Amino acid sequence: MTTRRVVSASRIIAAPREAIFKVLATPALHPVIDGSGSVKAPTDDPGTLFLGAKFGMAMKLGLGYKVQNTVSTFEEGRSIAWHHFAGFIWRYDLVDVEAGTEVTESFDYSNLLGVGLSLTAFPQNNLRNIEKTLGRLDHYVTTGSAE
């Protein structure tokens, strides 16, 4: 049995689900909303994501590298998730609330490689980055500009 290892945070954004989802489904905007500073630019960009879409991203954590992601969950306006070769999953869930949309971002590192991550400060650092991403997403969606 695999232990669930998930880091997640939520934020209420005063915008409709559809507007938020559109940003999340556009790889070219991922560097704009990324709170970690590691997402640099799309390398293979289908424009708007869809279930099964593949998109590449230039990254930098110390050294530069590239990843190829595959969209594994896609429910228009409600949920989107993708993973890369290591099987880590990035997911966003959107729910209507009275003040707008509750957006939950989660990072699932439950696979075998995640065991090593759980022994480091990565989960705590990742939580801070998720919270920054949600803040940047909020700012972008509500103002139309990057921070």
Task: Give, rounded to a whole angstrom, the gap between the first and last alpha carbons of the chain.
Answer: 42
Mind listing the pLDDT tens digit for each residue in 63-110? Answer: 999 999 999 999 999 999 999 888 889 999 999 999 999 999 999 887
Beta bridge partners of 73: 81
Closest to 137 in 3D by CA, of 36, 46, 2: 36
30 Cα distance to chain centroid: 8
The model's pTM is: 0.90
Instruction: For each of the domains in the chain, give its residue range(s) and CATH number, in order of start.
Output: 6-143 (3.30.530.20)
Mind listing the pLDDT tens digit for each residue in 6-52? Answer: 899 999 999 999 999 999 999 999 999 999 999 999 998 889 999 99
Closest to 84 in 3D by CA, of 100, 102, 68, 64: 68
Report residue 1's pLDDT band, with 50, 70 and 90 as the boundaries: very low
Q: Which residues contact 91 (CB under 8 A, 6 or more apart)?
A: 73, 79, 80, 81, 105, 106, 107, 108
